[in-house]
Amino acid sequence: MLGLGFKISEKTIEETINSKSELKTYEIEGERYHPENSVFKIPYKITNSKIESMKLDSASASLIINLKETTSDGILEISIPRNLIDSIISNGQDDEFFILINGEETKFTEPSKSPCFRNLLIEFPETTNEIEIIASFIYSYPISKVPDECIDKTIVKS
């Protein structure tokens, strides 16, 4: 059950994760914030809505996702590049992200993670206009410290 008072069935979530729906990639420019002037790849799948835009908010260390054409409750499956935005504690261990839907806290799942990405599954109601993923850091580390296998997966150009 989400903090917003709706629930999508476990079957629907499993179908979304295993669906053959098209994996899309949003490209977000890091040049305003990132010294290497990189463009980052953010892979995602979304049901019952479309992503209008994504933007970084350096003041709140968050990724703001604006939705459009939401037809009913949906699910966003998104892979966050760790070298773009991450939630870690001082000893380098992963920490939880904080997710807001239209400004209200909600629960989410993190079905998997890798050295390159944190994969989040976020359920949202039909009334959703904005999803905000709040982390502890934007640009967790410079491109020179990104594992080699992650460069092609997370960066379009540098």
- The letter for the amino acid at 24 is K
Min mean pLDDT across 60-74, 96-110, 128-142 is at 128-142
3-state secondary structure of 93: coil
pLDDT 10s digits, 10-59: 554 455 555 556 889 999 887 555 555 678 899 999 999 999 999 999 88
Amino acid 2: pLDDT: 42
Q: What does the buried/exposed string (b/e) look like for 100-109 if buried means 16 or more CB atoms within 10 Å of the residue's CB?
A: bbeeeebebe
Residue 15 phi, psi (nearest 5)? -65, -40
Phi-psi region of 102 (alpha: psi -120 to 50; beta: other; left: phi over 0): left
Amino acid 152: pLDDT: 83
**pLDDT score of 90 more than 60:** yes
**pLDDT score of 111 more than 90:** yes
pLDDT 10s digits, 112-146: 999 999 999 999 999 999 999 999 988 766 555 67
Q: How far is CA 113 from CA 31, 59, 110, 121, 158, in A?
A: 26, 25, 7, 12, 24
Amino acid 21: pLDDT: 65
Q: How far separated are the first and last CA of the chain, in Å rounded?
A: 41
Of 83, 37, 29, 76, the closest CA to residue 56 belongs to: 29
Instruction: Check: CB of residue 99 under 8 Å from CB of residue 132.
Output: yes
Stretch (H or E) spanning 155: strand 155-157
Structure tokens at 69: 């054409």
